[in-house]
């Protein structure tokens, strides 16, 4: 049976947990804003990158002419999956792993059809995980990452991570003939803390090249360039990959913290309910003890009074 001291200790523990949860919610809210600003800051730079595509593709029709070698490659796939290093974020990692599995199953089905027609397949996926928590879920679905990187702890750590990812992509393309690059991450959405999202970064594709080349230039003067067109386009593609990976990482981190706030809100309600139950039990036991003491006093008084009357 719970004693007053035992209940008082439980109430103090629940109060401490409530304070920790509130602090975590505050930190997550601050982090969300920082990562949102980081993603928004890339918007203008992304416009600059697209303007670079406009100029370098202006006289070519579409960029696939400059990457004709890729057309002779087998379509091998590399996947970068953003998850978390920490818990308390609901089904964040489970959802993104499920999305990766669904995409892989579609890819296998397409590969089987391609093999039946051309005799060529895409081979096994190369997977790189960002976040130790999602690594375990990827292993469970049979897509164990060949490498796992840690999640950035702040905005300033996103750039070094993206640089590592770009080096990994370059290694994939050179050593494993990866020509298709997918990125999986959670992003915030209206009415949901996180929704799985998939990006196809490579190949860029003729349609996107055509759209960039046909965009109207916003000023009366056109920039020019003197270096080799293919070399310049490769540099711009690298910047395009940098922007895309940076934004994916920032949006994933923002979504992670939003999911953590949602989880903290559930925990906060549970703690408050538990605290209310403990407080009621404490008050009830204390009231019972006070009542028993008063009854003892009354009984003693009545006993003494009865003795005097006798």
| Average pLDDT, integer, range 156-174 | 93
The structural domains of the chain, ordered by start, are: 32-249 (3.40.1380.10)
Q: What is the pLDDT of residue 159?
A: 93
pLDDT above 70 as % of the chain = 87
| Average pLDDT, integer, range 275-287 | 86
119: pLDDT confidence band, cut at 50, 70 and 90?
very low
Q: What is the pLDDT of residue 310?
A: 43
Q: What is the pLDDT of residue 101?
A: 94
Rounded to two decimals, the pTM is 0.80
Q: What is the pLDDT of residue 61?
A: 53
What is the rounded distance in angstroms from the CA atom of residue 152 to the CA atom of residue 85? 9
Higher confidence at residue 284 or residue 298?
284
| Average pLDDT, integer, range 157-175 | 92
Q: What is the pLDDT of residue 158?
A: 94
| Average pLDDT, integer, range 92-118 | 82
Residue 190: pLDDT above 80?
no
Residue 262: pLDDT above 90?
no
Least confident residue range of 89-98, 145-154, 260-269:
260-269
Q: What would the pLDDT profile of 6-35 be if each residue is shown by its tens digit? A: 888 888 888 888 888 888 888 888 888 889
128: pLDDT confidence band, cut at 50, 70 and 90?
very high
Q: What is the pLDDT of residue 232?
A: 86
Q: In the numeric block, which tokens belong to residue 52?
A: 């670079």
When the pLDDT of each residue in the chain is averaged and rounded to a whole number, the result is: 83
């Amino acid at each position: 049976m719970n004693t007053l001291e035992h209940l008082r200790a439980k109430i103090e523990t629940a109060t401490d947990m409530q304070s920790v949860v509130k602090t975590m919610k505050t930190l997550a809210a601050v982090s969300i804003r920082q990562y949102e600003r980081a993603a928004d800051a890339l918007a203008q730079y992304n416009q600059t990158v697209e303007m670079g595509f406009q100029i370098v593709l202006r006289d070519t029709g579409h960029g696939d002419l400059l990457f004709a070698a890729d057309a002779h490659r087998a379509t091998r796939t590399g996947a970068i999956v953003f998850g978390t290093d920490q818990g308390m974020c609901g089904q964040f990692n489970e959802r993104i792993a499920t999305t990766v599995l669904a995409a892989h199953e579609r890819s296998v089905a397409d590969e089987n059809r391609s093999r039946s027609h051309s005799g060529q397949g895409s081979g096994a996926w190369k997977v790189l995980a960002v976040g130790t928590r999602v690594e375990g879920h990827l292993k469970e679905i049979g897509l164990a990452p060949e490498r796992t990187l840690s999640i950035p702890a702040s905005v300033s750590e996103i750039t070094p991570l993206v640089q590592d990812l770009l080096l990994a992509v370059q290694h994939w393309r050179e050593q494993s003939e990866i020509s298709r690059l997918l990125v999986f991450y959670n992003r915030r959405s209206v009415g949901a803390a996180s929704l799985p999202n998939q990006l196809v970064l490579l190949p860029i594709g003729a349609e996107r090249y055509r759209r960039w080349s046909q965009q109207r230039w916003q000023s009366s003067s056109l920039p020019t360039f003197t270096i080799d067109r293919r070399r310049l386009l490769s540099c711009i593609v690298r910047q395009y990959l940098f922007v895309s990976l940076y934004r994916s990482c920032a949006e994933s981190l923002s979504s992670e913290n939003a999911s953590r706030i949602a989880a903290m809100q559930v925990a906060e309600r549970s703690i408050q309910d538990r605290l209310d139950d403990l407080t009621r039990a404490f008050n009830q036991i204390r009231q019972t003890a006070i009542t028993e003491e008063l009854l003892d006093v009354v009984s003693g008084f009545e006993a003494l009074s009865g003795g005097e009357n006798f």
